[in-house]
A and B are shown apart, each in its own frame.
Chain A
Amino acid sequence: GQNIDQPTEMTATEGAIVQINCTYQTSGFNGLFWYQQHAGEAPTFLSYNVLDGLEEKGRFSSFLSRSKGYSYLLLKELQMKDSASYLCAVRDEKLTFGTGTRLTIIP
């Protein structure tokens, strides 16, 4: 089975940097995803890690340590539109999601 943990809520200031952590315990592993979900909308893909290390995509970066069962999503130069839920998901044959972290950006 899969067990995925993320903080429930976080608050950060516009223009700052925030790190959202995700820890997982899984029977199999074939990659870790981060998705963004605005209220009332479907999730949209942000990043994917299958090997250890950092993947950078513009203002967003994601890190993976398979030996520690740990990932984080780093958001830089925060904008008000980054207020959303961020979902960590781990794949074996299927994709299992954590409960998500609701991020609120304040001016």
Chain B
Amino acid sequence: NAGVTQTPKFRILKIGQSMTLQCTQDMNHNYMYWYRQDPGMGLKLIYYSVGAGITDKGEVPNGYNVSRSTTEDFPLRLELAAPSQTSVYFCASSSPRQGATNTGELFFGEGSRLTVL
């Protein structure tokens, strides 16, 4: 059971470099999310998607881009890395809440730890 898989797990970037954080899920979930978590803080939503071809901004979208061409994949792109983007990034997925038994809980990947120097 792979669940939600994120790559890479660790990455160091120089200021101004670009990179893509990959996220894939094998649970056929409609909803996917990208969060960032700074040390000692909660999770802040960057972008989310309710299905293939549909994306929307969260609380902190500046400096990031996403795409959702398939149900399984939801990559997060950093175009011009800045030190303020040093953080742990979590991808998550969920299905819509249906009835009393499906809560629509989020399933998280293990996280990608990004440092921008």
Interface residues of A (CB under 8 A from B): 30-31, 33, 35, 41-45, 48, 50, 87, 89, 91, 93-100, 102
Contact = CB atoms under 8 A, between A and B. Distances in A.
A33 B43 contact: no
Contacts, number: 54
What are the 8 tightest A-B residue pairs by CB atom distance, in nearest-first order? Answer: A99-B42, A42-B108, A48-B103, A97-B43, A45-B105, A97-B42, A100-B42, A94-B48
Nearest to B31: A94
12 contacts: A31-B97, A33-B105, A41-B111, A42-B90, A45-B103, A87-B43, A94-B56, A95-B94, A95-B106, A99-B41, A99-B42, A100-B41
Interface in B92-113: 94, 97, 103-111
B2 to A, nearest CB: 14
B43 A94 contact: no
Which among B94, B97, B103, B105 has the highest number of chain A CB atoms within 10 Å? B105
Interface of B: 33, 35, 40-45, 48, 50, 56, 58-59, 90, 94, 97, 103-111
A91 B104 CA distance: 10
